[in-house]
């Protein structure tokens, strides 16, 4: 049965959504464009109809991550245990890594082309419960995950083959997860990705032009403006970005200027955990457990200084598929205004 709040929200949405034209919005840092296609706009609750595909499991075999010793996984590089001796989180090298561990990369040339060895580290961060995803963990359990991210980051950041460390989480088949057991991944690699580089360059350019961090400007404006804020605590802000690439995209960001994730204090890790868990839990409830990805963007560990950057977490639910326009232009189309998405999520 529809309650009064839902009914009023739909009336307000129909008034706002039908009168505004399509917008092109530009990312403050990278300069990338997105389309907010209000002419195709859906009501927020309609996005919940995109149910994620189930990951098939072989009931006759033990889970790779519940029983890593029995299934031949690599030896743990990090293990957190409870008072009763049971493990709560463990990290081990990926059995089928995307990067070859430990060697300094050699460079090669072939005519006009350039390549190097794919060296680095590829690790898996596993939480204990086979069925509980991030949205269903408590804040202290999520803080333990973030603590493991940081501990592994610090251990790998000074390796000779490592210039950038990407930490990410895939939830659902559409998001790239091939195993049902919740887990995150860490890839420590010898290059900085073009996407991160564009953020670094954009942040530096914005600072030179405005004498201020671009991300701090976002935080200040969103707190003052309120309409895209999903959640905040003393230290972190969760908001739907102005130029959201996907419906219900959320960024989690320190309120104070902090370029380097590895320098996050214990207090900040707890604040980040609360903001991340709340944001994902709201997406989980609003969209009825969609597939999503989240990842951490931080200043590289390549020995250079990046005072203009501001580390943050980006959460991208899978609410649509790329088609010809997106693939040919790199411009993504979202069918809900981030302001409308944020309002709906705040009320979950």
- pLDDT value of position 53: 78
23 within some domain: yes
- pLDDT value of position 182: 96
- pLDDT value of position 49: 60
Is the CB of residue 148 less than 8 Å from the CB of residue 89? Answer: yes
139 within some domain: no
Residue 29 tokens read as: 């840092």
| Angle value at C-alpha 76, between 73 and 77, nearest 5 degrees | 135
- pLDDT value of position 2: 47
Helix (H) or strand (E) holding 11: helix 4-19
Write the burial class of residue 91 (CB in 10 Å: 0-12 exposed, 13-18 middle, 19+ buried). Answer: buried
172 within some domain: no
Domain that holds residue 329: 18-54+193-346
pTM of the model: 0.91
The CATH number linked to 200 is 3.30.428.10
Q: Could you tell me which of 150, 128, 258, 248 has the C-alpha nearest to residue 203?
A: 258
- pLDDT value of position 74: 84
9 within some domain: no
- pLDDT value of position 54: 77
- pLDDT value of position 5: 47
Q: Could you tell me which of 147, 180, 197 has the C-alpha nearest to residue 300?
A: 197
pLDDT means per 10 residues, the chain with 348 residues, are 48 48 93 88 71 75 86 90 93 92 86 94 96 96 98 96 97 92 97 96 98 98 98 98 96 98 98 98 95 97 97 94 86 92 95
In the DSSP assignment, the letter for residue 293 is E
- pLDDT value of position 1: 44
179 within some domain: no
Distance CA 238, CA 253 (A): 7
The radius of gyration of the chain from alpha carbons, rounded to an integer in Å, stands at 21
210 within some domain: yes
Distance CA 69, CA 49 (A): 39
User: What is the tally of structural domains in the chain?
Assistant: 1
220 within some domain: yes
- pLDDT value of position 69: 81
- pLDDT value of position 48: 73
318 within some domain: yes
Residue 31 tokens read as: 């300069």
Residue with tokens 């389309």: 35
Sequence-ordered list of residues with C-beta below 8 angstroms from that of 36, at least 6 positions apart, any chain: 22, 23, 24, 25, 244, 334, 336, 337, 338
Residue 254's DSSP bridge partners are 236
Write the burial class of residue 305 (CB in 10 Å: 0-12 exposed, 13-18 middle, 19+ buried). Answer: exposed
């Amino acid at each position: 049965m529809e309650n009064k709040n839902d009914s009023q929200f739909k009336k307000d949405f129909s008034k706002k959504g039908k009168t505004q034209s399509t917008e092109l919005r530009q990312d403050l840092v990278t300069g990338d464009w997105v389309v907010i296609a209000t002419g195709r706009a859906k009501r927020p609750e309609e996005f919940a109809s995109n149910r994620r595909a189930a990951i098939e499991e072989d009931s006759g075999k033990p889970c790779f991550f519940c029983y890593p010793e029995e299934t031949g996984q690599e030896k743990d590089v990090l293990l957190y245990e409870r008072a009763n001796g049971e493990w709560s989180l463990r990290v081990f090298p990926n059995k089928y890594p995307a990067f070859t561990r430990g060697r300094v990369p050699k460079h090669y040339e072939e005519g006009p082309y350039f390549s190097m060895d794919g060296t680095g580290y590829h690790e898996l961060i596993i939480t204990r419960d086979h069925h509980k995803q991030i949205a269903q963990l408590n804040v202290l359990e999520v803080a333990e995950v973030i603590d493991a991210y940081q501990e592994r980051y610090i251990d790998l950041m000074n390796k000779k083959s490592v210039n950038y460390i990407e930490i990410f989480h895939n939830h659902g088949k559409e998001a790239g997860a091939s195993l049902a057991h919740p887990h995150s991944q860490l890839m420590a690699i010898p290059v900085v990705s073009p996407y991160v580089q564009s953020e670094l360059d954009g942040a530096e350019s914005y600072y030179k032009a405005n004498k201020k961090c671009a991300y701090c400007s976002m935080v200040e404006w969103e707190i003052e403006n309120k309409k895209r804020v999903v959640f905040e605590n003393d230290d972190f802000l969760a908001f739907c970005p102005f130029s959201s690439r996907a419906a219900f995209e959320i960024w989690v960001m320190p309120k104070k200027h902090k370029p380097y994730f590895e320098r996050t204090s214990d207090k900040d890790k707890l604040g980040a955990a609360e903001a991340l868990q709340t944001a994902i839990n709201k997406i989980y409830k609003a969209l009825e457990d969609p597939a999503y990805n989240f990842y951490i963007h931080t200043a590289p560990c390549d020995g250079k200084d990046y005072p203009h950057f501001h580390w943050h977490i980006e959460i991208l639910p899978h609410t649509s598929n790329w088609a010809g326009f997106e693939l040919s232009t790199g411009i993504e189309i979202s069918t809900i205004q981030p302001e409308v998405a944020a309002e709906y999520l705040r009320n979950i």
